[in-house]
Amino acid sequence: MIIETMDFGFVEIREEDIINFPLGVYAFREHKKFVVLQNPDSAWMLHLQSIDGPKPRFILLDPYMFVSDYSPILPSEADEIFGTRDPSKLSIFVIAFIPGNIRDMTVNFKSPIIIDFDRKIGAQLILENPGYEVRTRLFGSEDE
Amino acid sequence: MLVITRKSSESILIGNDIRVTVLEISEGKVKIGIEAPKHVNIVRTEVLETINANIDAVLAESPRDLNLLKSRIIKRKEKN
């Protein structure tokens, strides 16, 4: 099927690539089907694109690019959705907010996108870790 | 910030019709009961923060300058 994406125009996707988000994601609960598209210009950037239209889509990054000891403590909802609270059995991505000025970019370590690619189920869960924040700036003002 | 110390089962009032009661304290967690009128929206702070961050992330335009972004990330990694 062909979907309209936010960043790459119309894209053909396969039914089997659709990830079901039974709860949607926060603020966009009504959108329950997404695909993960790799940015053709940079393989490390993934686009979680709703199949319903150009929006919503989220830019996903590997948290370990930024925090090598990222150790998410999953809430009990993980058991209901994925049948496990063990993060090593799941794929975990942080949502990036990338404004016009890259220096002001933030990532959300507190509420990552979690995907079980085998069962094609995904969710955004708020972690139990007290130290992680929803908007973590990556670059200081000295990074020019 | 106003700071008040309360024991288990003690409460505070906010205005005339919002009562916050400490129900249980154990293992670094506090269980709180809130009685408030129906129109008062009560949400965990991190839920509202996540909602707002998601809205901002969705409204952001397609990322540009990916090479610059990558070099910044690499530079940051080298520093840490």
Task: Tell me: pLDDT of B80 over 80.
Answer: no
More confident residue, A140 or A42: A42
- pLDDT tens digit string along A75-131? 999 999 999 999 999 999 999 999 988 999 999 999 999 999 999 999 999 999 999
CB contact under 8 A, B66 and A95: no
pTM reported for the whole predicted model = 0.91
- A2-137 to CATH, choices 3.30.110.30, 2.30.290.10, 3.20.20.210, 2.40.50.90: 2.30.290.10
- With cut-offs at 50, 70 and 90, classify the pLDDT of residue A140: confident
A125 touches chain B (CB under 8 A): no
Amino acid B65: pLDDT: 86
- With cut-offs at 50, 70 and 90, classify the pLDDT of residue A142: low
The string of DSSP letters for B13-80 reads EETTTEEEEEEEEETTEEEEEEE--TTS----HHHHHHHHHHHHHHHSPPP--HHHHHHHHHHHHHH-
Domain residue extents for chain B:
1-38, 43-80
Amino acid B75: pLDDT: 87
DSSP lists the bridge partners of residue A63 as: none
Measure CB to CB from residue B47 to each of A98, A126, A135 and give the nearest one: A126
CB contact under 8 A, B76 and A26: no
Q: Give the Cα separation of A130 and B39 in Å (integer).
A: 29
- pLDDT tens digit string along A21-54? 999 999 999 999 999 999 998 989 999 999 999 9
Measure CB to CB from residue B66 to each of A25, A45, A135 and give the nearest one: A45
CB contact under 8 A, A124 and B50: yes
Cβ-contact B23, B31 below 8 angstroms: yes
- With cut-offs at 50, 70 and 90, classify the pLDDT of residue A143: low
Apex A86 CA angle, B49 and A32, nearest 5: 50
CB contact under 8 A, B72 and A102: yes
For residue A23, which residues of chain B lie inside 8 Å, CB to CB?
none
Q: Considering only alpha carbons, which residue of chain B is nearest residue A58?
A: B58
Amino acid A131: pLDDT: 93
Domain residue extents for chain A:
2-137
Phi, psi of A25 (to 5 degrees): -130, 160
For residue B63, which residues of chain A lie inside 8 Å, CB to CB?
7, 45, 59, 98
Task: Tell me: pLDDT of B46 over 60.
Answer: yes
For residue A143, which residues of chain B lie inside 8 Å, CB to CB?
72, 75-76
For residue A42, which residues of chain B lie inside 8 Å, CB to CB?
66, 69-70
